[in-house]
Chains A and B, each alone.
Chain A
Amino acid sequence: MFLIHCPYCGEDREEEEFHAAGEAHIARPLDPDACSDEEWGNYLYFRRNPRGLHRELWVHVAGCGKYFNIARDTASYQIHGSYRIGERFTWSDAEDSAAP
């Protein structure tokens, strides 16, 4: 059971108030019709699933209803930060080389 900081409510809340919504920062192609099947397939189905530092999209369903991102270590389960949609989050340089 994670303890997740909601950047909109400004509090740490129990995981049961949230739903995970997959990997963060998967942008919809601006011109889907120009995408090849492979490009579209990558957008639809392919995710990084790293061991270690990962950015995830969550939604505070039982709370404010807002989507936001967390930066989480998938090995230790430590959450290094929560940030709003449109914001950036960077780990230290060395760690961040693994991120997109």
Chain B
Amino acid sequence: MSIDPNYLRANQGFRLADGGRIDRGDPLIFSFAGRRLMGYRGDTLASALLANGVRIVGRSFKYARPRGIVCAGVEEPNAILQIGGREETQTPNVRATEQPLIDGMVTRPVNGWPNADADLMSIFGSLGGALMTPGFYYKTFMFPASRWESYEWFIRRAAGLGKSSKLPDPDRYDHMNHHVDVLVVGAGPTGLAAALAASESGKRVLLIDERSEAGGSLLWSGDADKYAWGEAIDAMLPMQWVANAVRRLDANPQVARLTHTTVTGYHDHNFLTAWERRDDTCAFSGSDTVPGTRQRLHKIRAASVVLATGAHERPLVFANNDLPGCMTASAVSEYIRRYAVIPGNRLVVMTANDGGYRAAFDWKQAGREVVAVIDPRHDPDSSAIQQAREAGITVLTGSALVEARGRKGVTGALVAPINKLATFVTGDTRLLACDTIATSGGWSPAVHLSCHTGSRPVWDDAAIGFVPGPTTERRYAGGSLLGHHALAQCLADGTEIGAQACSVYSDEQREGSIAASVPQVQSSNTTEAAPMALFAVPHPKPSSRAPKQFVDFQNDVTAAGIEQSTREGFESIEHVKRYNALGFGTDQGKTGNVNGMAIVARALGKTLPEVGTTVFRPNYTPVTMGAVGGAHVRELFDPERYTPMHRWHVKAGAEFENVGQWKRPWYYPQGNESMSEAIAREQLATRNGVGILDASTLGKIDIRGPDAREFLARVYTNSWAKLAPGRCRYGLMCGEDGMVMDDGVTACLADDHFHMTTTTGGAAHVLSWLELWQQTEWPELDIFFTSVTDQWATISIAGPNSRALLDELTDDIDLSAEAFGFMDFRTGHVAGIAARVFRISFTGDLSYEINVPAHHGQTVWDALFNCGERYGLTPYGTETMHVLRAEKGFIIVGQDTDGSVTPYDLDHGWAVAGNKPFSFIGKRGMQRSDCTREERKQLVGLKCSDPNTVIPEGAQAVRDPAQPIPMSMVGHVTSSYYSAFLGRSIAMGVIKGGLKRKGEKVYFPLADGRTLEATLCDPVFLDPEGARGKV
């Protein structure tokens, strides 16, 4: 579908003929709620919508009232849109005021059902509005609990704050780490001055700003000659000074600058996170060009942090202040000056400070009508007010705009005289026809980041706002963040804290040097009248009967609601906040929080500092999950560790099992084999011929030193004094609590040299554990541990043919039973590779574990297969390994144990040497009374009465299946398999007093209604005399 661009261009009825920091030669076409619209490069989505006369951008959360754009920056509560060119790139809750316009962008309101202009919910809102009091959802949807699911559907549908795609996100995100001397947050006048001062030092400086270009409030500054309220810096237009500053910073190789990047979190020890929108073009427009990194999360460690985060203008609270057309005064100025967009035709300004007059000047300069400026102050005098009167603008002092009129937008403003304290209306109201209302209640310093590390902001009467509180971090603040709104003061602040932050000057030098480098400001605004601390404007009616006065637009929190909650007994600001959901929206109450606190203070007869503030937590603005995840997604979500033979397993068609980060072959299905068929085949081949298992994932630790033997005796439960070189021993490792922690076989290579193996999952922990004891308790022991897990490929061959197979590949190891017995260890060559061979068995059959350097692992593996065919060599995976070991009653730590099992509970008392001279780790623990009591859960075998039924692992055992629910549980199944070799199911489990109850029956009532019966037995199901392994 082609649309005439000239038509779209002309459609921008609210675009001024000239001016603005936009590129009229680069038109961008986008859609909003299905309508095609045009804007220009340099626009935000919000400025483009306003240029096209779009007033309603969504419906409110609770009352479904039409809402329009209020602000021009990050604090915007209403204009949060759903953006995305395709289903998979849908992004909810994007602030239109911050989002640069993109060609082809597809946008729509996040709520409004079926659409924002004709919202069915508004009927509910207008009829039920009076009933929807604070805590409405808590009170109404409380009972009966069984209905909650349907309530929730209704509430979510009605509330509707955007929707996320359920498809995988196709875009790329990443993280970047920075280490800087000075991080400057905010590139307005204060931040730029600070960055300039800090950059003089030659130290590393990073300057970050959330807007698409530097300048902050200067982006909509005026030319001193051309406009009232104009300013110049060092005899330059403000934006010329900005451009100059940016050039100087960019020319400095030690300075980095990020734009369109929001510092969202300020964490301990000056660690900050910043969210950069690099390229949302593809995601938001649906174009199919190859995208770069869409968004990036920066992780910044800074020696010093300069906060120059500025302030957010507070809209005043008055009746119907949420009507589209009500905006903050600075937003009106920013749209006119920065984007050449005028939000309406007839303006009424209501301001409690001189700053609000700027909106009137800018509006008039743009050639539209300023109906009046309403000023609650009685007889204020300042250059702004004089200039307004000189310009022929009607200024009504001692008055207030008490109510906006209109249905889907502002059509009039109700104005009335008020008393000096602005607490009540003193005369008759009159109606001024207008379509736009600009208000300023003052500025709330953006203290959010300063709070993140636990510092509470403090009230400043001069600033009429909260300013950053004390901190232990090396943090500096200046400019509007401290309530210093005058440009000259901001530049002076910035220069000083920038220099302080990098310690450029000594104390003696500081005064003069800093003063000399502060940029000089020329301003037409020479005298200022004191601002008034006005938050909520009085109305002829009490707020409970007046039209709604909104405090938090995003959550529809009203002045009347806050007052009611104080009457209901909520007095702590933390409680009021939660009860009303004040500041709970995606904007986190940037515009509403202070107004809300002021209303609480008024209702409770307290001062604002007495009411206190709530603490802001990270993040300052919502961050996409994509940016949080960065590149750590999909196959990079968690590292995959591969053994040296991994590729062989892949080619052999193995299914893999995750064991920690390792990918281990689980089983090797052949043809159309099912898993159980494959397991049965692998098992029988191993028991009857020879099987091969990749055991390289076992943890391996090289232990060397004169005290190695002593050390082993302290960390293992059994004795190591007499283990001769060339021999191996199984060991159990316990925690100090006496509970089994790990197990494995350790070989004695030499008197002072051992090769320890650990479980696959326990390797890292065991090494840390050994180091812990050696470093902190027994540093006198002369011993070193080195991880060799990755150094050795470990190949286990098991089964009656394993000796004959290995014999084909070694000339220098005598494999005879006499020369190389069970639990012996030998070095030699296998397939020509120097190898350590252990004759140990995790299957009960004759078995060898061949260790070769990892880079030779595949060579030896291949060599085994080259001559393996006549022995029936069959690869098996972890599942078959489990069946084989379970037939022998061999435990797996972490499966048959859970951190509450002692060696005695496992009936492994044979592996505990109680008579060792040193009280080994775990010895005292396992002697505590609880560890020695009767009826502990003990490991036993379980034979299901139906040999074809495999009891589910985790099934709970009871002694009497007829007892009423809840039944007394006496243990559970830890390992359970079908053994093809034994032709029946086998299981192990921990059962209370199990060791003394062999032969008794237990029952397993299952979720599916079946109850299985099993007999407690010895866990060794196969070859209890151990003949198979000792051949």
A–B direct contact (CB < 8 Å)? yes
Binding site for B on A (CB under 8 A): 1-3, 14, 19, 21, 27-28, 31-33, 35, 37, 40-41, 43-44, 57, 59, 61, 65-67, 76-79, 85-86
Convert B110-140 into 0s and 1s, putting 1 for each residue whose CB lies closer than 8 angstroms to a CB of A: 0000000000000000000000000000000
Whether B772 lies near A40 (C-beta < 8 A) is no
Q: Is the CB of A35 within 8 A of B453?
A: no
The 7 closest A-B pairs by CB, nearest first: A32-B924, A3-B269, A1-B271, A32-B919, A77-B268, A67-B775, A76-B472
Which of A1, A44, A78, A85 makes the CB contact (< 8 A) with B736? A44
**Residue B426 lies at the interface, judged by CB distance under 8 Å to chain A:** no
Residues of A within 8 A of B925 (CB): 40, 44
In B449-497, the 8 Å CB interface with A consists of 453-454, 472
B776 CB contact (under 8 Å) in A31, A44, A67: A67
Contact residues in B for A3 (Cβ distance below 8 Å): 268-271, 301
A38 → chain B closest CB, angstroms: 10
| 9 contacts across the A-B interface (CB closer than 8 A) | A2-B269, A19-B768, A31-B919, A44-B925, A66-B775, A67-B775, A76-B454, A76-B472, A79-B269
From the candidates B268, B779, B928, name the one contacting A1 in the complex (CB within 8 A). B268
Summed over the interface, the residue pairs from A and B with CB atoms below 8 Å come to a total of: 61
Report whether B777 and A28 are in contact in the complex, using a CB–CB cutoff of 8 Å: yes
Known A1-B271, A77-B454; further 8 A-B contacts with Cβ < 8 A: A3-B269, A14-B301, A31-B919, A44-B925, A59-B771, A67-B772, A67-B776, A77-B453
**Does B936 lie at the interface of the complex (its beta carbon under 8 Å from any beta carbon of A)?**
no
- Proximity bits, B261-272, A CB within 8 Å = 1, else 0: 000000111110
Least Cβ–Cβ distance between A92 and chain B, in angstroms? 16
Q: Which residues of A contact B772 (CB under 8 A)?
A: 21, 59, 67
The minimal Cβ–Cβ distance linking B767 to chain A, given in whole angstroms, is 9
Chain B residues with CB under 8 A of A1: 267-269, 271, 299
Across-interface contacts of B736 in A (CB, < 8 A): 28, 43-44
In this complex, which of B269, B453, B779 has the most chain A Cβ atoms within 10 angstroms of its Cβ?
A: B269
* Chain B residues with CB below 8 A from A14, complex form: 301
A40–B271 CB distance below 8 A:
no
Q: Identify which of A31, A32, A41, A67 contacts B771 (C-beta below 8 A).
A: A67
From the candidates B472, B737, B929, name the one contacting A78 in the complex (CB within 8 A).
Answer: B472
Within 8 A of A (CB), among B921-939: 923-925, 927-929
Are the CB atoms of A85 and B779 closer together than 8 Å? yes
Could you say which of B771, B779, B924 has the most chain A C-beta atoms within 10 Å of its C-beta? B924
Tell me the complex Cα distance, A32–B919, Å.
7
Shortest CB-to-CB span from B182 to chain A, Å, is: 16
Contact A57 B776 (CB under 8 A): yes
Hey, which chain B residues are within 8 Å of A59, CB to CB? 768, 771-772
- Cβ of B268 and Cβ of A41 under 8 Å apart? no
B560-591 Cβ-contact flags toward A at 8 Å (1 or 0): 00000000000000000000000000000000
- The docked-state distance in angstroms from the alpha carbon of A49 to that of B924 is 25
> Taking the nearest CB of chain A, how far is it from the CB of B873, in angstroms?
40
Chain B residues with CB under 8 A of A31? 919
Given contacts A76-B454, A77-B269, contact A32 B775 (CB under 8 A): no
For B271, the chain A residues whose CB sits under 8 A away are: 1, 3
Closest-CB distance, B741 to chain A (whole angstroms) = 14
Q: Which residues on the A side are within 8 Å of B779 (C-beta)?
A: 85-86
Taking a contact as CB atoms under 8 Å apart, the answer to whether B268 and A40 are in contact is no
Residue of B nearest to A45 (CB): B737
* Interface residues as binary, B771-787 with A (CB distance below 8 Å gives 1, 0 otherwise): 11001110100000000
Nearest to A26 among chain B residues (CB) is: B776
Instruction: Give the chain B neighbours of A43 by CB distance below 8 A.
Output: 736
Chain A neighbourhood of B269, CB < 8 A: 1-3, 77, 79
B928 touches A40 (CB 8 A): yes
From 298 to 327 in chain B, residues with beta carbon under 8 angstroms from any chain A beta carbon are 299, 301
Residues 247-274 of chain B: 1 if any A CB is under 8 Å from the residue's CB, otherwise 0?
Answer: 0000000000000000000011111000
Residues of B within 8 A of A79 (CB): 269
- B776 CB contacts on chain A under 8 angstroms: 57, 67, 85
Inside 8 A of B777's CB, which chain A residues have their CB? 27-28
In the bound complex, CA of A47 to CA of B768 (Å): 21
In Å, the complex CA distance between A1 and B454 comes to 14
- Using known A-B contacts A21-B772, A85-B776, determine if residue A32 contacts B923 with beta carbons closer than 8 Å: yes
Tell whether, in the assembled complex, residue B928 and residue A41 are in contact, meaning their CB atoms are under 8 Å apart: yes
Residue from B299, B301, B453, B776 with most neighbouring chain A CB atoms (10 Å): B776
Q: How far is the CA of A37 from the CA of B931 in the complex (A)?
A: 11
Q: Is the CB of A37 within 8 A of B472?
A: no
A65 proximity list for chain B (CB < 8 A): 771
Q: Chain A residue with minimal CB distance to B914?
A: A33
By beta carbon, the residue of chain B nearest A84 is B775
Which residue in chain B gives the minimum CB-CB distance to A33?
A: B919
Question: Complex: how many Å from CA A27 to CA B925?
Answer: 15
B919 x A44 contact (CB < 8 A): no
Select from chain A the residue with minimum beta-carbon distance to B768: A59
One of A2, A35, A37, A77 near B929 (C-beta < 8 A): A37
Distance (Å) between the CB of B922 and the closest chain A CB? Answer: 10
Q: Smallest CB-CB separation from B737: which chain A residue? A: A44
Min CB gap A25→B, angstroms:
9
On whether the beta carbons of A33 and B928 are closer than 8 Å, the reply is: no
User: Within the complex, what minimum Cβ distance (angstroms) separates B253 from chain A?
Assistant: 24
Question: Which residues does chain B contribute within 8 Å of A57, judged by CB atoms?
Answer: 776
Cβ of B775: which chain A residues have Cβ within 8 Å of it?
66-67, 85
